[in-house]
Amino acid sequence: MRPPERGRTRPCAPGRIRGLVVLLAAVLLGTAALPGRAAAVDGPPASDAYSRPSVRAMTWNVCGEAGGSTPGTGAYCPDRNEPQAKAAAVGEAVRARDLNAVMLQEVCSGPFLSGLNSGSGGPSQLDRIAAELGLEWSFRWAEVWRPATAAFPQGSSYCRAGLTGTLSVAIGVKGRIDWQRTRTMPVPVDAGQSRTQALCVGAAGWESHLCTAHVANFDAAARQGRMTQAEADGLYADQIGVIEEMAAGLPSVVVGGDFNTRLRAKLQPLYDTLYECDERSYFPGDTAAEPTHFSPATESTDPATGAITDSRYSTARLDYLFSSEAFTGCDSWTEKADRADYTPAAQPSCSTVATPPVCTPTGTSDHAPVYGSTQGGPGLDWRMNGTASGGSLGLTGTPSPGASWSSGHGGALELDGVSGTVTAPGPVVDTRRSFTVSAWAKADPEAGISAVLAQDGTVISGVMLWYNAPDRTWRFGMPRADGPDWNVDQVISRTQAVPGVWTRLTGVHDAVAGTITLYVDGAPAGTVAHTATWAANGPFVVGRDLVKGRANAFWDGQVRGVEAYDYPMTAAQALSHSRTLTAPTVKAALPSTAGAGCQALGGYGTVSSRTPTLTVHVAHPDPSKQVWAEFGLWDNTDPAQPQPVALGTPGSVSGKVVGRGTVSLTAPTLIDGHSYGWRARTADGTTSSAISSNCHFRVAAP
């Protein structure tokens, strides 16, 4: 039995909630896609971040060729002519941060260009990066042109100094890229700045798309009198407009790049519609808006010896990550940017007149990489319907004696209240940072104090979600220290728990706000302060907690749908997670040899069948409920044609699944050469979700 409770602090006021722009799209099977015009999106945002995988992306201007070659000068690029050094640095960052997407600027890509590239014609920087990351990764790149010259009136793009390929921006994903779109930035050829392209890609099975760009800044030209400031601002705004327009056509997107400004006002169109990852901190001590660019404060050298005489650097924030989804974390890895002291006192052999300079950098570029993770699906996702596995962490739980599988609630874990548990082989959440844990639970009427889930420390669990039998309340708590005393900050439900009734419990730790919150069936049950954080690095356990170093409070009842997320759900998310049917989701797969056909940006896919199959993924917040999709399909070529499938009619209904799954509908015979639009909504017989985004395809003509 636990010691007496210490009472509650006054609940904290809820924070500002931003609307989430989400992907509400579906996949059309058995097609081959062709380019064409963009699809409209008219379904309201309806889903939340927890319905899709997280994107763990990095943007990095690697100064692969475009940077300067002399230490101590502006834009100096370490390892400028060492492609393998660049590849190794990218690989290190990807592995250290478990990234699944990279966006690169100033990188040499593509084949050897005879007559332009000097040297032996070996692999390009992007080729080496691809080899460093392995066969799971795929890449796309888009050309960048330097300012026009007499020899190259449209600007040159070949990589110089013995490097292979074309100066470019590039995107890589841990998966198969099956679609891309580029747009040339509106930079005049004679404006004295490089012209780049905005590049967007989609990957097979991914909900989110990725876009990158390297934006030209004309403020220096205005200061030098070569144009007015208004003209410079206009050229910059036009480029941001291209990025904004491309991102707006993608219901779920991550945008990153070197945007070449420290002024938020110039990026306001992106801030107005997307989340920016480093505009806030994610845990106590986390610094927001960190610098990403490092350059010499002054370019000062001894004219006789070439010795660099000033070791100071100036910093700026020029690189950004934006997303239609909120982020769970973000950082500028400043150690990856060069900040070496090149003065004779630190490096006696370093000189700008030496050939080559004998200088040792501390980083790989003059830019630091910026990386962040979007809010996504659960790291732990145990349905508990016969197995304890699932989620991005890849953890499978081990049942103990006293644990068995039940048919209740669509399949559930039955625990005996004596010894039954399911244990993960390690920690699932970082108790020092923000997280969310959630589960369906049903306590037996005779149950005593029983823990639904916990994550152990050495002496006490660092997080606990339990049923308190003496007063019949649900409780969510986090101790202030890993010690034998019962010193636990806890939220106590305002209404009594009802044994024998399935209840969705959600516990949220917001490390930045210093609070913990409990939601019961999606409704807020209370919030208390929790500011004394520590790392509980023991196993994650369903069915008991740890108190005074001993297993305690074994669960007596059933458990279903145990989940853990690496971010704090908002009140709206917790409500939706527990009660709301979300619009159908599945990747908006765009032109692809694999045969996908939901066009969010780009042309209509072409199907080879007059009776194509429309497929979406649906989910119900209650895993015991049947759920299905209702489809709508219409003729875009001839609107006077009868609608083949009308939303909400008997012919619009797909097959059914319990809880969640993939459902489909085979279209009636369509007309060769006609284009069609379609969409879907989730239904359970009582309520319906919002409608998905529109998808489009064309039936192949004979």
Average pLDDT over residues 671-695: 85
CB-based contact 217:224 (threshold 8 Å): no
**Higher-confidence position of 2 and 550:** 550
- SS3 at position 231: helix
Mean pLDDT of 553-575: 94
Spatial separation of the C-alpha atoms in residues 339 and 359, rounded to whole Å = 12
pLDDT of 249? 77
- Which residue type, as a one-letter code, is found at position 5? E
H-run or E-run covering 515: strand 515-520
Confidence grade of residue 250 (pLDDT, cut at 50, 70, 90) = confident
Mean pLDDT of the chain: 86
More confident residue, 172 or 178: 172
Mean pLDDT, rounded, for 369-374 = 96
pLDDT bin (cut points 50, 70, 90) of residue 701 is low
Q: In this structure, how many other beta carbons lie within 10 angstroms of the beta carbon of residue 98?
A: 11
Residue appearing with tokens 């003059």: 366
The answer to whether 97 and 57 are in contact (CB under 8 A) is no
Asked whether the whole model's pTM tops 0.85, one would answer no
Whole-number pLDDT of residue 13: 29
Residue with tokens 């002496």: 459
The more confidently predicted of residues 126 and 15 is 126
Does the N-terminal peptide bond of residue 356 adopt cis geometry, omega within 30 degrees of 0?
yes
pLDDT-derived band of residue 519, with 50, 70 and 90 as boundaries?
A: very high
Please check whether residue 665 is in contact with residue 26, taking contact to mean a CB–CB distance below 8 angstroms: no
Return the pLDDT at 446: 94
Tokens, residue 388:
């304890």
Please answer whether residues 377 and 391 qualify as being in contact, where contact means their C-beta atoms are separated by less than 8 angstroms. Answer: yes
Has residue 346 got a pLDDT over 80?
A: yes
Supply the DSSP symbol for 45: P
Which one has a higher pLDDT value, 622 or 422?
Answer: 422
Secondary structure element (H or E) that encloses residue 129, with its range? helix 125-133
Evaluate if residue 587 carries a pLDDT over 60: no
pLDDT digits (tens, 9 = 90+) for 292-339: 999 988 878 888 888 888 899 999 999 999 998 889 999 999 999 999
pLDDT of residue 620: 86
Residue 448: partners with Cβ closer than 8 Å, 6 or more residues away: 417, 469, 553, 556
The residue whose two tokens read 């790989």 is 364
Please say whether the dihedral angle defined by the alpha carbons of residues 502, 503, 506 and 507, taken in this order, is positive or negative: negative
* Residue 568 predicted with pLDDT over 90: yes
Helix (H) or strand (E) holding 605: strand 605-607
Q: How far apart are CA 235 and CA 225, in angstroms?
A: 15
State residue 115's pLDDT score.
Answer: 84
Rounded Cα gap, residues 666 and 654, in angstroms: 9
Q: Are 146 and 106 in contact (CB under 8 A)?
A: no
Strand partners, 695: 678
Q: What is the pLDDT of residue 340?
A: 93
pLDDT value at position 605?
65
- Say whether pLDDT at 502 is over 90: yes
- Decide: 636 and 677 in contact? Cβ < 8 Å: yes
Write down the pLDDT at residue 337.
94
- Whether the pLDDT of residue 619 is over 70: the answer is yes
Contact 379, 566 (CB under 8 A): yes
Q: Which strand (E) or helix (H) includes residue 222?
A: helix 219-223
Most confident segment among 42-56, 78-92, 607-621: 78-92
507 pairs with which residues across the strands?
437, 518
Place of tokens 């907690």: 545
- Checking if the pLDDT of 420 tops 90, the result is yes
Look at 397 and 664; give whichever has higher pLDDT: 397
**Which range, of 321-325, 506-510, 694-698, averages the lowest pLDDT?**
694-698
Q: What percent of the chain has pLDDT over 70?
A: 89
Instruction: Report d(CA 170, CA 178) in Å as an integer.
Output: 15
Question: Among residues of the chain, what percentage have pLDDT more than 90?
Answer: 62
- List 253's β-bridge partners, or say none: 209
pLDDT reported for residue 207: 75
Inform me whether the pLDDT recorded for 376 exceeds 80.
yes
What's the pLDDT band for 70 if we cut at 50, 70, 90? confident
- Kindly calculate the radius of gyration of the chain based on its CA atoms and give it in whole angstroms: 28
The pairing of strands 605-607 and 695-699 is parallel
pLDDT of residue 2: 45
SS (H, E, C) 529-573: ECCCCCCCCCCEEECCEEECCEEECCCEEEEEEEEEECCCCCHHH
Element (H, E) at 179: strand 177-184
> For residue 11, what pLDDT band results from cuts at 50, 70 and 90?
very low
Whether the predicted pLDDT of 522 surpasses 80: yes
Burial class (CB in 10 A: 0-12, 13-18, 19+), 394: exposed
Look at residue 645 in the predicted model and tell me its pLDDT. Answer: 94
For the chain, give percent helix, strand, coil, nearest 5: 10, 35, 55
Contact 520, 503 (CB under 8 A): yes
- For the stretch 252-282, pLDDT in tens is 899 999 999 999 999 999 999 999 999 999 8
Apex CA 563: angle with CA 475 and CA 623, to 5°?
Answer: 100
Contacts of 355 (CB under 8 A, 6+ apart): none
Rounded to 5 degrees, φ, ψ at 244 are -60, -45
pLDDT digits (tens, 9 = 90+) for 197-239: 999 998 877 878 999 999 999 999 999 999 999 999 999 999 9
Q: What is each CA distance from 296 to 302, 340, 490, in whole angstroms?
A: 15, 10, 51
- Smallest CA-to-CA distance from 470 within 505, 452, 497 is with 497
Of residues 414, 508, 429, 498, the one with CA closest to residue 461: 429
Cα 183 from Cα 196, distance rounded (Å) = 9
What residues form DSSP beta bridges with 329?
Answer: 373
Which of 428, 458, 449, 447 is CA-nearest to residue 541? 428
403 contacts 460 by C-beta, under 8 angstroms: no
Mean pLDDT, rounded, for 523-534: 96
> Would you say 545 and 552 are in contact if contact means Cβ atoms under 8 Å apart?
yes
